[in-house]
Amino acid sequence: MNLENISSNRCFGGWHKQYLHDSAVLACRMRFAIYLPPQAAQGDKVPVLYWLSGLTCTDENFMQKAGAQRLAAELGMAIVAPDTSPRGEGVADDAAYDLGQGAGFYLNATQAPWNRHYRMYDYVSRELPALIEAHFPVSQRRAIAGHSMGGHGALICALKRPQDYASVSAFSPIANPLNVPWGQKAFAAYLGEDRQQWLAWDACHLLEQATQLPPMRVDIGLADNFLAEQLKPEALENAARAGGHALQLHRHPGYDHSYYFIASFIEEQLRFHAGHLAG
């Protein structure tokens, strides 16, 4: 089987496991982590939350730092954390932390050299869920969440495939990559200079156009160093208003961009998803 288990840790009565597999979409070997709650060992098919991490992360950051397993065990929810880009020696890269490996932005690149491997949107929204549903005791009920670059990824997955997700949430998302330095740098590299091509990967643009979307919750910290320049939550609010969509946007005074913020409110986001996954 194209699925190699490389670690297993018992955690809150369930299991945290890491796997390697050959991704056809990304044309490289990929690692992901899955948390299987106790219910998954009792014959129940549990729903799955996909978690997309931010710049420089791997599958490990969320699993080690968010404290999510306690709640996933209580709520009977699996969590899958993919890596943040294709990886490996033959995969295009850049010395900067915000381009190339560790910075895939959950889109499908069209420009060389990136277009050979950088198809993270297809990977996280199609190939990985199919693999998970084929090999683990999970149902086809999916939710999606993420942080920063991964918050943007969660939003675009849910906006482009609303039928596939019961709910979507984000911590500190790069909400409007079209109009911020991180997004402009990555989109120019991955998608080219024609900004018309960028629209399909901008959460604010997609939200304005959307006719259907799953319940959406966003949490931001008001002491986040990246808030005004890179995240632009007010653009997301305006887009939701323009599109006539409900958006639960929670602002938290004093909190920053770190996992200390995520850990503080992951319980609220996971209970939000559990309510919709059960529905």
The catalytic site residues sit at: 148, 224, 257
d(CA 224, CA 172): 8
Q: Which is nearer to a second copy, 115 or 264 (CB)?
A: 264
Q: Please report how close the Cβ of residue 63 comes to a second copy at its closest, in angstroms.
A: 8
Q: Please report how close the Cβ of residue 226 comes to a second copy at its closest, in angstroms.
A: 14
Q: Which is nearer to a second copy, 70 or 245 (CB)?
A: 70
**Rule CB under 8 A: which residues touch a second copy?**
9-13, 16, 64-65, 67, 69-70, 221, 223, 252, 254-256, 258-261, 263-264
List the beta strands (DSSP E) in the chain: 4-11, 14-23, 28-36, 46-52, 78-82, 138-147, 168-171, 216-221, 248-252
Q: How many CB atoms lie within 10 A of CB 114?
A: 26
d(CA 8, CA 131): 18
Positive or negative, the Cα torsion across 132, 133, 134, 136? positive
Q: Please report how close the Cβ of residue 167 comes to a second copy at its closest, in angstroms.
A: 23
Q: Which is nearer to a second copy, 118 or 261 (CB)?
A: 261
Q: Which is nearer to a second copy, 142 or 147 (CB)?
A: 147
Q: Please report how close the Cβ of residue 249 comes to a second copy at its closest, in angstroms.
A: 18
Residue with tokens 């900004």: 195
CB 71 within 8 A of CB 38: no
